[in-house]
Amino acid sequence: MNRKEVTFTRKELEKRISYYSGLITEERLLKMKKVLKNRTRYISVALENIFQPHNASAVLRSCDAFGIQDIHIIENSNKFSSNPAVDMGTSQWLTLQRYRDKGNNSAAAIEALKSQGYRVIATSPHSNDMHLDEFDLSKGKAVFLFGTELDGLTPEALAAADEYVKIPMYGFVESFNISVCAALTLHHLVLGLHESELNWQLSEIEQMTLLHTWLRNTIKKPEFHERLL
């Protein structure tokens, strides 16, 4: 299932956050609020057909570490699965959107992302590619596509991309492991965001919605507490 935050009014969110906040330690609550200040949807990640749980988990862990909130998971021939020992529970803090109900899930995902105003960026060598440090963050929000461990992105994804980036390499090896590629890419981009004057942070209502979701997911038997609200 896709992980989507349930929509509440501001007043409802305030009431729920106040209630759930009383069920956790103040230290835990402060940590959540601190993390929220550095979350972003200006940059998102899309994973196409990833099949190795270790790599999938490592990418999720990097997304959480660098403050990337939304991860779009495209399942064509491979089912996405993660390794709890690797992701260390980070997936519970992320918003995972899965695309697996269409004949061509890559096309459906890219169409949906473009409709949300994202530039679709393929992380793969291409005739029109640019080095990562040449990428212009100021042109608008972007989603970065990462492909399978063996074959990279599909021809459909490459054809639909708006821009292409690659990480400079100076050795004999031709490519990075996907989890390494994602970590290097996100480190560079997030550093650029934090040094920029772009409006990359979540809105207040987005932060409240996420905080409510995190609080609810943290406590035991949330269904019981729902009846008390």
pLDDT tens track for 141-161? 999 999 886 788 999 999 999
Residue 36 within a domain: no
Give the pLDDT means over successive 10-residue stretches in the chain (229 positions): 64 95 95 98 94 85 96 84 65 91 87 97 82 96 89 90 92 87 96 97 97 92 79
pLDDT tens track for 56-89? 889 999 999 999 999 999 988 777 766 665 566 7
How many domains does one find in the chain? Answer: 1
What is the CATH number for 142? Answer: 3.40.1280.10
Residue 139 within a domain: yes
Residue 10 within a domain: no
pTM: 0.90
Residue 137 within a domain: yes
Residue 229 within a domain: no
Q: What is the pLDDT of residue 84?
A: 62
Range(s) of the domain holding residue 158 = 41-205
Residue 35 within a domain: no
- Count of Cβ atoms closer than 10 Å to residue 100 Cβ: 14
Residue 160 within a domain: yes
